[in-house]
Amino acid sequence: MVPFLKEQFTQAGKFSMFIGRFFKEIVLPPFQFNEFIRQCFAIGYKSLPLVSITGFIMGLVLTIQSRPTMTKFGAESWLPSMVSLSLIREIAPVVTALICAGKIASGIGAELGSMKVTSQIDAMEVSAINPYKYLVVTRILAATLMVPILVIFADVVGVFGGYIGYNVHGTIGLQRYFSEVIEHLDFLDLLPATIKTFFFGFFIGTIGCYKGFNASGGTASVGLAANSAVVTASLSIFIVDMLAVQITDLFF
């Protein structure tokens, strides 16, 4: 039990130092702007199809599944606002972040893990290029900025999916549907939900980089790093979400 706890505290300490180094390196020049843009493209743009499909299905399914209950209570007209609120406040941020944990954290973990075990990171180090700044800072920053954008995109596509879902059994015009949605949306529905997505992105990027950067022991560790990155990032999303809900509840 004692060695297990010791190992857990050691890992927690190392992870904290890894995060601390990010905040130190991010303010020190040189800035790897080109690599940052490349990572934004890889993390953001290349995730759009996956996020679009997921967002659309979330809205569509949520509407179709909620409709019978809402009809039973005579609240069918509340369906657009109920679906959009559920999507924007909770479902779209968490599900999109989980999708990103699967795609981005595993991708970063595997890529950096592979670079680590094939000495590519060491090659950067001996070439006097700071691999942490070039590989880690750019990826964490890109994930932190791109995940919120992907979530907002998933929100919009999800609401549209809800419109399609509504029209499976009923009829409503696009303009009226969106009017219903916007009418019941408050600024305070959007703000906390958006703020927490920055934390989701930060942890997805950080955990992916940490697992990859610390891979050791050959090719098996690359798979392990990718797998561990997904599991830890997914868990961290739920923990951050729980904390965000508590904080939102406290202040708003």
Three-state secondary structure along 201-215? HHHHHHHHHHHHHCC
Does 175 help bind another protein (rule: CB under 8 A)? no
Report the site for another protein in 126-145 (rule: CB under 8 A).
126-130
* Contact stretch for another protein (CB under 8 A) within 111-119, 146-154, 184-192, 223-231: 111-119
Instruction: Please state the closest distance from residue 73 (CB atom) to another protein, in A.
Output: 55
Applying CB under 8 A, does 8 fall inside the site for another protein? no
Helix then strand then coil, % of the chain, to nearest 5 = 85, 0, 15
Q: Is 114 one of the binding residues for another protein (CB under 8 A)?
A: yes
- The two three-digit tokens of residue 42, written as one number: 């890889």
Q: Which stretch binds another protein (CB under 8 A): 67-75, 117-125, 163-171, 231-239?
A: 117-125
Phi, psi of 28 (to 5 degrees): -95, 130
Single out the segment in contact with another protein by CB under 8 A; choices: 77-85, 118-126, 189-197, 219-227.
Answer: 118-126
Quick one: residue 188, left, alpha or beta (phi over 0 = left, psi -120 to 50 = alpha)?
Answer: alpha
Among 16, 71, 118, 246, indicate the residue that binds another protein (CB under 8 A). Answer: 118
Task: Name the token pair of 247.
Answer: 């904080």
Nearer to another protein, 20 or 173 (CB): 20
Q: Could you say whether residue 120 binds another protein (CB under 8 A)?
A: yes
Closest CB 115 distance from another protein, rounded Å: 8
CA distance 142 to 51: 16
**Contact by Cβ (8 Å): 213, 112:** yes
Which class for 17: exposed (0-12), middle (13-18), buried (19 or more C-beta within 10 A)? exposed
In the window 229-248, what residues touch another protein (CB under 8 A)? none
Which of residues 17, 122, 168, 243 is near another protein by CB under 8 A? 122
Give CA–CA dist 91/222, Å, rounded.
Answer: 31
Decide if residue 26 touches another protein (CB under 8 A): no
Nearest to 170 by CA among 70, 53, 54, 57: 70
Taking the least distance from each CB to another protein, the nearer of 80 and 113 is: 113
CB 53 within 8 A of CB 61: no
Count the residues of the shown chain that bind another protein, applying the rule CB under 8 A: 14
The only residue of 119, 179, 216, 246 in contact with another protein, by rule CB under 8 A: 119
Interaction of residue 125 with another protein, rule CB under 8 A: yes
Task: Provide the binding-site residues for another protein, judged by CB under 8 A.
Answer: 111, 114-115, 118-120, 122-123, 125-130
